[in-house]
């Protein structure tokens, strides 16, 4: 333990490396989407950094600490004709020097214009250097203030800054931005709001814009009296009448928190559309004026999840700060799914307004986990937060874990405990299997690195790590550790060591690791937090003795990846045919490369990693695989559905990694022809599609492959049917949604015929369940004409539900009608499609039919600058080019390549690389088509190797 703790200084040095600040920002997720006593004993590494070199120049020095901000922002919409949609600001910041000889204050600023800067100490002006009182370093968004004399340590200084800036148009660039919607009277309404995570508060006001710097924020907003809807982190303290028909809202001070958690919304007609006043503060859903009655579902979710966290953490939300609100804002425009601003969580509207007549069950599922995720952030992310974005996994991993596990406690009908694997674990295993993946805790510097860290590793792997840790230390000890973690570090920035200390304290008190005598929890924690990847467990069973030889090595999806000697401490659980316990508490802890466990002697199948709770894949000797294949074929229900899903997920990965032969892999997968479980078919669809996407350029191969897939699909389609009956389980409804979408996409005649018929019924004014609309809309449009497309187009324009509108947008992309394609492309770049939807709208079109990319090329060539502006972010435009190339045939790739080479655009290299990747996928499909088709055709064949072959295969397995 001492050696691990001695790494603190080294790790803090790593965390103090730099961030190259720029406007470029794209956050993926979820949800994706924090207070410090001044007396905190700062680690020495944060001191004395006024002399820095190398990359460290991009991070703020920590010799000055902000304590309180008093911020005045005057918002102007269209009423100021000479400078519409702008704001003037002035702020008073109380600061203290943490070291001697500080003559330069460095903070962040990315506003348009700074007009005045002055500093006071006890009301007396502090002189600034006359010829250079301040300077701006635009590359890093630094504002440097130069004083004549050094600051006195511990003395309060007041920094005053006045400035002006412009609202961004739409949500993608964050900062203070303006959005719009059409109200119940068909009038366009405008609102202004904020999105600061992770580093865009500096666009709204100069500040110390790193999560480490905590302060109290008091906000004052002035506006025209016509903008009656105004909300912020805290309750309103008073309203002041100003001249010229303006008023100023004065909000109560926030708790100490990071700058990116500050937020507000000012609108013409946003209002409370649902609330529960039995809580203090009241839990409120806030939305546009024509959304009355649409927030009740979200309110129910927020109420029950607030109750859960209050009880589970024993730190009720109402006790965190008396000024905080518990508001949930539904914004028509939002760059991500949700953002955890303290007191005023903001969501994209489509995730908040759930209407069973219009909302697909997958959206309902996601809404529940999203609200729980954001509520979890009020403790894990706001009450405590990361020192630096290298530790993002603590914030997002906890929120993701509770998004499913906690919600399952309050809404068992969703079965979120079982959905966790599909949503998080399997996504993590897929992403984390490359040689270039990063550990959960790793150094990030540039904006691209920071925003990329808000992704699969921080959300999915971290959540899976926490669940695996719960199984090891028990849920009771984990709960106690969480309470220690929050209480010990409340209103402070935290890191992996603080969480480790809380875990160890609870573990030692409960002696919860006593069953594992040789288990080193310190090494377990260090490895999973600080090392990339995960292992594959090779299992070799000697049935005559019951000995099971285990060997682990890091798993790489690429067969050509260089092996490593990394060993991962993993929980070992297993079940057998005679003892199908499927318990998730670790039977053993494996912290070495090889070990042997035992079962009762005798021939029977074994399955390791019960319910797929451990972060590892499993590969068995051939004989055990064959016994599993036989058991699955004869009685798949004898094996738990989550382990059947694990087998499917692992087998596809093992075939791609060349760890098992295709004929054995498809022999195992043959049970899918009888199994109808959602959990099993979710990874199966992903695996089948991976192969299929590499056969798209081979019509004969594709046709045969699709026919084979139809055989796999027959039983599950027969079981589910084409219609959505009342009162069925949500998981069954979700299964039909994905299975039929897949079946129609691979040309299943029954699915296509039914979808076309339902679309014609829909055109005649009869409703179609939202839970089958995806494939019904797509097939109706794909197999219809321009009039069919135009009908759905108008339905989308008239819709008042964003979730339904997105379903329709996806369906519109399935057209192959040239007139419809041209109109659709123009509509994407108009206000008919919001900025945050444009990239998806293009992608839906490219994926709708393989010829659509080429059909769109003339428009793309002509409007390339408008497309770049329309998707807003450079990263989004790069994705546009990548998605275009990824969904093209060879003729389209040739045309695109010639255009990029003869008319080079700045991003041409991105497009050319995507073309190379697309051709590589085609080449792989050409090279492997015969062997895969042969294996898939013979999937049901019983393969009984001779003893010699069996022994040879076992030897080969353990020599890999």
pLDDT at 786: 97
In terms of residues, how long is the chain? 960
Rg (CA), the chain: 29
Q: How far apart are CA 231 and CA 229, in angstroms?
A: 7
3-class secondary structure, 754: helix
- The two tokens of residue 750 are 């029954």
CATH class of 63-269: mainly beta
Hunting for tokens 């010229």 — which residue is that?
A: 244
Taking a C-beta distance cutoff of 8 angstroms, is the pair 266, 272 a contact?
no
- The two tokens of residue 173 are 């660039």
pLDDT at 543: 96
Q: How far apart are CA 559 and CA 693, in angstroms?
A: 20
- The two tokens of residue 923 are 């080449």
CA 555 from chain centre, in angstroms, equals 23
Hunting for tokens 């906690």 — which residue is that?
A: 406
Q: How far apart are CA 97 and CA 389, in angstroms?
A: 24
Q: How far apart are CA 268 and CA 270, in angstroms?
A: 6
Task: Using CB atoms within 10 Å of the CB of residue 369, give its burial: 0 to 12 exposed, 13 to 18 middle, 19+ buried.
Answer: buried
Q: How far apart are CA 423 and CA 730, in angstroms?
A: 16
Q: What's the number of CA atoms in the CB half-sphere (13 Å) around residue 50?
A: 14
Q: How far apart are CA 522 and CA 330, in angstroms?
A: 43
Element (H, E) at 300: helix 296-313
Using a cut of 0.85, tell me whether the model's pTM lies above it. yes
How far, in Å, are 110, 433, 691, 757 from residue 928 at the CA level?
A: 53, 21, 10, 37
The residue ranges of the chain whose pLDDT is under 50 are 1-54, 942-960
Q: What's the number of CA atoms in the CB half-sphere (13 Å) around residue 803?
A: 25
Domain locations along the chain: 63-269, 535-654, 784-906
Sheet holding 142-146, edge to edge: 104-108, 142-146, 134-137
Element (H, E) at 925: helix 908-937
- Please give the angle made by the CA atoms of 193, 199 and 204, to the nearest 5 degrees: 40
- Please give the angle made by the CA atoms of 152, 153 and 158, to the nearest 5 degrees: 65
Q: How far apart are CA 393 and CA 519, in angstroms?
A: 24
Q: How far apart are CA 508 and CA 152, in angstroms?
A: 44
pLDDT at 954: 35
Cα dihedral value 456, 421, 622, 630, nearest 10:
-150
Phi, psi of 116 (to 5 degrees): -145, 140
Taking a C-beta distance cutoff of 8 angstroms, is the pair 295, 273 a contact?
yes
Strand partners, 94: 68, 158
Q: How far apart are CA 103 and CA 63, in angstroms?
A: 10
Taking a C-beta distance cutoff of 8 angstroms, is the pair 657, 556 a contact?
yes
Q: How far apart are CA 58 and CA 21, in angstroms?
A: 8
Q: What's the number of CA atoms in the CB half-sphere (13 Å) around residue 830?
A: 8
DSSP class of residue 349? Answer: G
Domains 63-269 and 535-654 share a fold: yes
Question: How many CB atoms are located within 10 Å of the residue 468 CB?
Answer: 20
Strands (E), 836-946: none
Q: What is the dotted CATH code of the domain comprising 535-654?
A: 2.60.40.1910
Q: How far apart are CA 543 and CA 600, in angstroms?
A: 8
pLDDT at 25: 30
pLDDT at 443: 86
HEC profile for 263-324? Answer: CEEEECCCEEEEEECCCCCCEEEEECHHHCCCCHHHHHHHHHHHHHHHHHHCCCHHHCCCCE
Strand partners, 183: none
- The two tokens of residue 487 are 């209480």
Strand partners, 286: 272, 329
Q: How far apart are CA 743 and CA 724, in angstroms?
A: 16
Q: How far apart are CA 547 and CA 67, in angstroms?
A: 63
- The two tokens of residue 137 are 């370093």
DSSP class of residue 346? Answer: E
Sheet holding 338-339, edge to edge: 271-276, 283-287, 326-331, 344-348, 338-339
pLDDT at 40: 24
Q: How far apart are CA 529 and CA 439, in angstroms?
A: 6
pLDDT at 57: 66
Q: How far apart are CA 131 and CA 501, in angstroms?
A: 51
Residues in Cβ contact with 927 at an 8 Å cutoff, skipping those fewer than 6 apart:
none
Q: How far apart are CA 324 and CA 306, in angstroms?
A: 14
How far, in Å, are 366, 435, 751, 842 from residue 532 at the CA level?
A: 28, 9, 42, 34
Phi-psi category of residue 355: left, alpha or beta, with phi > 0 → left and psi -120 to 50 → alpha = beta
Q: What is the dotted CATH code of the domain comprising 784-906?
A: 1.25.50.20
pLDDT at 27: 31
- Please give the angle made by the CA atoms of 389, 392 and 398, to the nearest 5 degrees: 160
3-class secondary structure, 666: helix
pLDDT at 903: 87
3-class secondary structure, 138: coil
Q: How far apart are CA 915 and CA 769, in angstroms?
A: 39
């Amino acid at each position: 333990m001492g050696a691990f703790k001695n790494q603190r200084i080294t790790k803090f040095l790593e965390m103090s490396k730099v961030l190259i600040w720029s406007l470029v920002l794209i956050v993926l997720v979820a949800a994706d989407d924090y207070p410090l006593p001044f007396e905190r004993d700062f680690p020495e590494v944060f001191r004395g950094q006024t002399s820095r070199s190398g990359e460290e120049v991009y991070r703020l020095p920590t010799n000055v600490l902000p304590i309180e901000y008093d911020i005045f922002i005057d918002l102007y919409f269209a009423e100021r004709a000479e400078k519409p949609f702008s704001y003037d600001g002035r702020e008073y910041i109380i600061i203290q020097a943490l070291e001697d000889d500080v003559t330069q204050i460095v903070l962040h600023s990315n506003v348009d214009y700074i007009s005045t800067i002055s500093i006071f100490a006890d009301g007396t002006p502090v002189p600034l250097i006359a010829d250079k009182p301040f300077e701006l370093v635009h590359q890093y968004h630094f504002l440097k203030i130069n004083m004549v004399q050094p600051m006195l340590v511990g003395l309060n200084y007041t920094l005053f800054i006045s400035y002006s800036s412009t609202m961004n148009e739409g949500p993608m660039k964050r900062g203070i931005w303006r959005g719009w919607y059409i109200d119940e009277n068909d009038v366009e309404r405008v609102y202004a709001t904020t999105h600061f995570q992770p580093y865009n508060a500096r666009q709204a006001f100069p500040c110390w814009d790193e999560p480490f710097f905590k302060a109290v924020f008091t906000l004052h907003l002035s506006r025209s009296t016509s903008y009656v809807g105004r909300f912020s982190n805290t309750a309103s303290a008073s309203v002041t009448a100003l001249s010229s028909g303006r008023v100023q809202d004065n909000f109560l001070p926030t708790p100490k928190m990071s700058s990116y958690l500050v937020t507000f919304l000012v609108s013409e007609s946003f209002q409370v559309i649902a609330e529960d006043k039995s809580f203090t503060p009241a839990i409120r859903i806030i939305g546009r004026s024509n959304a009355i009655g649409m927030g009740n579902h979200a309110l129910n979710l927020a109420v029950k999840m607030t109750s859960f966290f209050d009880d589970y953490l024993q730190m009720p939300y109402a006790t965190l700060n008396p000024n905080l609100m518990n508001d949930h804002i539904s914004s028509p425009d939002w760059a991500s799914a949700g953002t955890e601003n303290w007191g005023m969580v903001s969501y994209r509207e489509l995730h908040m307004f759930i209407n069973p007549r219009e909302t697909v069950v997958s959206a309902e599922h996601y809404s529940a986990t999203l609200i729980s995720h954001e509520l979890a952030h009020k403790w894990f992310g706001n009450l405590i937060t990361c020192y630096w974005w290298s530790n993002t996994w603590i914030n997002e991993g906890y929120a993701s874990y509770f998004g499913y596990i906690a919600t399952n406690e309050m809404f068992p009908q969703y079965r979120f405990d079982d959905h966790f694997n599909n949503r998080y674990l399997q996504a993590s295993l897929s992403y984390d299997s490359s040689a270039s993946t990063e550990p959960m805790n790793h150094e990030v510097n540039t904006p691209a690195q920071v925003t990329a860290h808000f992704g699969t590793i921080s959300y999915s792997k971290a959540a899976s790590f926490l669940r695996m840790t719960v199984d090891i230390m028990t849920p009771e000890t984990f709960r106690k550790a969480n309470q220690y973690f929050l209480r010990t570090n409340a209103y402070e920035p935290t890191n992996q060591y603080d969480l480790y200390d809380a875990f160890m304290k609870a573990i030692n008190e409960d002696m919860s690791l006593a069953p594992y005598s040789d288990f080193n929890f310190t090494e377990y924690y260090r490895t999973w937090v600080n090392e990339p990847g995960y292992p594959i467990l090779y299992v070799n069973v000697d049935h005559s003795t019951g000995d099971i030889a285990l060997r682990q090595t890091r798993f790489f999806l690429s067969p050509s990846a260089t092996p490593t000697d990394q060993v991962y401490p993993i929980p070992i659980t297993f079940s057998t045919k005679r003892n199908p316990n499927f318990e998730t508490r670790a039977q053993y802890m494996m912290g070495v490369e090889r070990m042997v466990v035992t079962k009762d002697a005798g021939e029977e199948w074994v399955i390791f990693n019960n319910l797929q709770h451990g972060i590892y894949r499993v590969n068995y000797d051939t004989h055990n695989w064959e016994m599993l294949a036989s058991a699955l074929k004869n009685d798949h229900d004898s094996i738990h559905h989550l382990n059947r899903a694990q087998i499917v997920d692992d087998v596809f990965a093992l075939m791609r990694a060349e760890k098992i032969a295709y004929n054995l892999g498809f022999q195992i997968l043959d049970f899918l022809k009888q199994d109808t479980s959602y959990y099993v078919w979710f990874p199966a669809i992903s695996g089948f599609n991976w192969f299929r996407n590499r056969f798209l350029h081979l019509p004969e191969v594709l046709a045969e492959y699709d026919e084979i897939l139809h055989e796999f699909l027959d039983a599950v389609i027969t079981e589910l049917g084409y219609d959505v009956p009342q009162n069925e389980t949500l998981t069954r409804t979700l299964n039909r949604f994905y299975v039929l979408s897949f079946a129609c996409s691979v040309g299943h005649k029954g699915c296509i015929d039914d979808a076309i018929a339902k679309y014609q019924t829909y055109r005649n004014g009869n409703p179609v369940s939202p839970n089958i609309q995806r494939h019904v809309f797509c097939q109706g449009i794909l197999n219809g004409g321009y009039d069919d497309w135009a009908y759905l187009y108008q339905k989308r324009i008239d819709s008042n539900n964003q979730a339904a509108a997105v379903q329709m947008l996806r369906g519109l992309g399935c057209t192959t009608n040239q007139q419809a394609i041209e109109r659709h492309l123009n509509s994407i770049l108009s206000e008919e499609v919001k900025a945050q939807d444009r990239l998806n709208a293009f992608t839906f079109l490219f994926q709708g039919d393989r010829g659509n990319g080429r059909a769109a090329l003339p428009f793309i060539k002509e409007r390339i600058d408008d497309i770049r502006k329309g998707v807003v972010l450079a990263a989004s435009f790069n994705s546009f080019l990548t998605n275009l190339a990824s969904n093209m045939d060879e003729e389209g790739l040739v045309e695109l390549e010639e255009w990029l080479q003869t008319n080079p655009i700045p991003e041409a290299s991105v497009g050319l690389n995507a073309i190379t990747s697309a051709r590589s996928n085609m080449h792989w499909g050409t090279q492997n088509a015969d062997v895969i088709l042969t294996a898939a055709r013979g999937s049901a064949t019983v393969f009984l190797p001779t003893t010699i072959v069996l022994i040879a295969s076992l030897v080969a397995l353990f020599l890999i």
